[in-house]
Structure 1
Amino acid sequence: MAPSSDQSLIPGFLYSSKILSHLDQGLPASTTSIVSHSPYGTSHNKSPMIQAPKESIRMYSPAYYAACSAGGIFSCGLTHMAVTPLDLVKCNMQIDPVKYKNITSGFGVLLKEQGAKGFFRGWVPTLLGYSAQGACKFGFYEFFKKYYSDLAGPENAVKYKTFIYLAGSASAEVIADVALCPMEAVKVRVQTQPGFARGLADGFPKFVKAEGAAGLYKGLVPLWGRQIPYTMMKFASFETIVELIYKHAIPTPKEKCSKSSQLGVSFAAGYIAGVLCAIVSHPADNLVSFLNNAKGATIGDAVKKIGVVGLFTRGLPLRIVMIGTLTGAQWGLYDSFKVFVGLPTTGGSARAPVPVK
C-alpha cells in the first residue's frame, strides 16, 4: 500500500531511529512495519518513540504547522523583546562607535542620556516584528523540511539531510523576513536616533512620512543577507549538534530521555548554534543597522564608512553573547511549546536499535 500523503520521508529518521536503521541497511520500506510505528497513528504501548497525541494534533497536518508557527511566535517574540537592552547598545555601537566605545560604556551612555526606561526603547516593534518572523520561520521550516524530504525520497532524505535542513530553513527565512522588515526598519530608527520617536505608535507614521511606504523595505536585501545565512546556520547546526549530543555525550537514547533532559539538550545545542549564527551573519547585521539609520544611504556608503574589517568585527562580541543566549532560549522555548501541546522535540534521532531478525 502506498504511504499516506501526510507521511514525510524524513520525519521517520528525525523522530524514530528505528526507521533509520532499516534505511541504512537498505531493507524494503515494508519491513519497517514490523519493528517501527507511524508517528501519526496508533502504536504498541512499549514503543519508546515520542509521539503526538493520537486524537489531538496529527503530525504534518495543518494543525501541526499551526502549532509550530505558534511556537515560533512564543519563542522569537518574547526572547527578542527580552534582549532589547543588548540590541539597543549593539545597534548604537554599530552606528556611532566613537560615542559607544564598548558594551560597558554603551550602557553607561544610554543610562545617563535616557535613563533606565531608555533601555527598552523600541520594544513594541521588536515584539511584533520578531513574533511575525518567528511564526513564518518555524512554521515554514517544518513545512519545507517535509516537502523537500518527500521530493528527495527516503534514501536521499537520510543521505542528504543537512542539505534538506539548509534548503528548508533558507526557504522559510525568505518569507519570514518579508514579515519582519517593516518593524525592523522602525525599530532601528527609534533606537538609534534620539528624539525621532518614542516607539511604534508615533515612529511608524513618522518613518513612512519621511521615507515613504517603500522605505519600510529598503533594508530587505541586507536583511535577507543577514537572516538567511543566520537561519541556515541556526537550523542545520542545531539539528546536527543535537544529533551529535545524543550520539556521543548522552548514553541514553533520545526516546528514553526525560522531557526535561531533552529540553536541556535543545537549549545547549541552540546556544552553540547561536554563536555560529552571530559570526556568519554579523557583516549583514552591520549593514542593516547602517541603512535603516541613514536616510538615502547605500550599501556602498556603509562599506566605505564602516570598512570591510569593521563589518566583521564592530559590535561582534556583544552580538555573540546576545545571539547565543537568544538562540538557546528560542530553541528551548520552541521545544517546550511542542512538548506542551504533545509534539516531539526537534531533531536528534538516537542510535538505531539492533534490527529484529
Structure 2
Amino acid sequence: MAFSVDSRRSLIPTFVYSSTSLSASLVQSDPLPASRSISPPLLSLTEKKKNTSFVIPSPSEPSKIAMYSPAYYATCTVGGMLATGPTHMAVTPLDVVKCNMQIDPAKYKSISSGFGVLLKEQGAKGLFKGWAPTLLGYSAQGACKYGFYEFFKKYYSDIAGPEYAAKYKTLIYLAGSASAEVIADVALCPFEAVKVRVQTQPGFARGLSDGLPKIVKSEGALGLYKGLVPLWGRQIPYTMMKFASFETIVEYLYKYAIPTPKDQCSMPFQIGVSFFGGYIAGIFCAGVSHPADNLVSFLNNSRGATVGDAVKKMGLWGLCTRGLPLRIVMVGSLTGAQWGLYDAIKVFAGLPTTGGAPPPPPATVPAEM
C-alpha cells in the first residue's frame, strides 16, 4: 500500500521536528503560485508551533556551559582531578627519590645515586612505591583545589565589585587559592601520610590497602592528620604562588610577548601558553614551599617528632635546600602539565582557558549636577 508524504509523517510525533520543517512540508505538499503568499492564519499557526514545540537538537550541536553555573564548577572540579592525580602518579619515581634524599641524605646523596641505590636494593618496583595513595590523594586534592579556586575567585570578586576586583586582582587570586587549598589538604593528608611511609620505610607496608589500616591501628585516625599543619605550611604558599603567578604570567604573555589577542589565538596555542606559564610558575612554587615539604617528610617518617626536632637535625639551610633541585624539576613539570591538561579539559567542555588580560573595569559615569 502506498503512503503519501503527509500520511507517513503523521506516524511521527510532531514534537520531534521543528516548525521550520513543518512549514516547508506544507509548502511542498501544497505549492503556492508566486503571486500568492501564506495567509495570516497559517503564519500564526506556524509561529505558535515554533514557540511551543520541543525540538531535539542535532548531535553535532556543542553543549554550552554557562560560566559560574553549577555545571561550570563541576567541570572545573573534574578537570582538576584529572589534571592533578595522574600527573603526580607519573612522577612517582622522582617523588620516591626526593623523599629518601630528605630523610636519609647520607645514603641518598644525589639524584643519580638515589636512583641507583633504589634500583639496586628494591628493583624497578621500588621506584613506584606509593603510586596508589599518590593517585587517589592528589586526585582528591586537585578536585578540591581547582573547583574551589574557581568558586572563591568569583566569590571574592563579587564581594570586591568589578572596579576593585580588577584593581586588586592579584589579591583575589591569592585569597581564592589559599581558601581552596585549606579544604584540599584535608582531603590529601591521610593519603600523604601513607605515601611518605611506604616510600621511605622499607617493609612498613606494600601500599595504601595495608598501610592505611596499619597507621590507624597504631596511632588512631588522628595519626593520619598529624602532618596536616606542615602540609598546610607547604601547600598553601605553594598553591598561592601556583595560581597567582600563573594568572599573572599568562596575562603578561598575552599583553607583552604575544602579538595576537588571546581571543584570536587558536585553542592549541592557548593550551601551549598555559603549559609554559604553568612551568614557570612551578619553579617559583618549588622554592616557596620546599622547607615545609622537608618538614612533612620528616614528621611523617619519625614517630613523635616535632618541628623543632626537624630544624635541629636538618638545620635551616638543610630545610631550604635538601632535595630542592630535584623538586624544581618535578614541580615545574607537574605544574606545567597540570595547567595544560586542566585548560585542555575546559576547552573540550566548551569553556575558555584560564588567565589572560582581565576585562577593563566599567567606566564611571559622572554624577549629574
- What residue identity is the alignment partner of 2:88? H
Instruction: Mark the CA change 1:324 to 1:301 in structure 2 (over 3 Å): closer, same or farther.
Output: same
Equivalents in 2 of 1:292, 1:79: separation in Å? Answer: 23
- Structure 2: 5+ residue runs without aligned partners? 1-60, 364-369
Name 1:11's counterpart in structure 2: none
1:232 aligns with 2:253: no
- Structure 1: 5+ residue runs without aligned partners? 1-52
Name 2:302's counterpart in structure 1: 294
1:306 aligns with 2:314: yes
- Greater mean alpha carbon deviation, residues 197-206 or residues 232-241: 197-206
Equivalents in 2 of 1:146, 1:350: separation in Å? Answer: 13
1:320 aligns with 2:323: no
1:176 aligns with 2:184: yes
Instruction: Mark the CA change 1:119 to 1:239 in structure 2 (over 3 Å): closer, same or farther.
Output: same
Match 1:85 to one of 86, 93, 115: 93
Instruction: Mark the CA change 1:79 to 1:323 in structure 2 (over 3 Å): closer, same or farther.
Output: same
Equivalents in 2 of 1:236, 1:341: separation in Å? Answer: 24
What does residue range 36-75 of structure 1 map to in structure 2 within 5 Å?
A: 56-75=64-83
Deviation at 1:351, TM superposition (A): 9.1
Deviation at 1:350, TM superposition (A): 7.4
Match 2:351 to one of 343, 348, 354: 343
- What residue identity is the alignment partner of 1:233? M
- What residue identity is the alignment partner of 2:238? Y
Match 1:125 to one of 117, 126, 133: 133
1:144 aligns with 2:152: yes
Instruction: Mark the CA change 1:246 to 1:351 in structure 2 (over 3 Å): closer, same or farther.
Output: farther
Name 2:249's counterpart in structure 1: 241
Name 1:192's counterpart in structure 2: 200
Name 1:269's counterpart in structure 2: 277
Equivalents in 2 of 1:349, 1:333: separation in Å? Answer: 21
Name 2:268's counterpart in structure 1: 260
Percent identity between the two aligned chains: 79
Q: Deviations over 1:177-200 (max 9, x none)?
A: 000000000000100000101111
SS in 2 for 1:153: helix
Deviation at 1:93, TM superposition (A): 0.2
Deviation at 1:57, TM superposition (A): 1.4
Instruction: Mark the CA change 1:55 to 1:336 in structure 2 (over 3 Å): closer, same or farther.
Output: closer
Name 1:28's counterpart in structure 2: none
Equivalents in 2 of 1:102, 1:54: separation in Å? Answer: 51
| TM-score when normalising by structure 2 | 0.80
1:220 aligns with 2:228: yes
State whether residues 253 and 350 of structure 1, in contact with CA within 8 Å, keep that contact through their aligned partners in structure 2: no
Instruction: Mark the CA change 1:138 to 1:351 in structure 2 (over 3 Å): closer, same or farther.
Output: closer
Deviation at 1:100, TM superposition (A): 0.2
Name 1:284's counterpart in structure 2: 292
Name 1:19's counterpart in structure 2: none
1:208 aligns with 2:216: yes
State whether residues 255 and 350 of structure 1, in contact with CA within 8 Å, keep that contact through their aligned partners in structure 2: no
Equivalents in 1 of 2:220, 2:359: separation in Å? Answer: 55
Deviation at 1:349, TM superposition (A): 2.2
Match 1:332 to one of 308, 322, 340: 340
Name 1:49's counterpart in structure 2: none
Following TM superposition, the consecutive aligned residue runs of length 4 or more in structure 1 with deviations greater than 4 angstroms are none
State whether residues 63 and 350 of structure 2, in contact with CA within 8 Å, keep that contact through their aligned partners in structure 1: no
Deviation at 1:201, TM superposition (A): 0.7
Equivalents in 2 of 1:151, 1:351: separation in Å? Answer: 17
Deviation at 1:55, TM superposition (A): 5.0
State whether residues 101 and 109 of structure 2, in contact with CA within 8 Å, keep that contact through their aligned partners in structure 1: yes
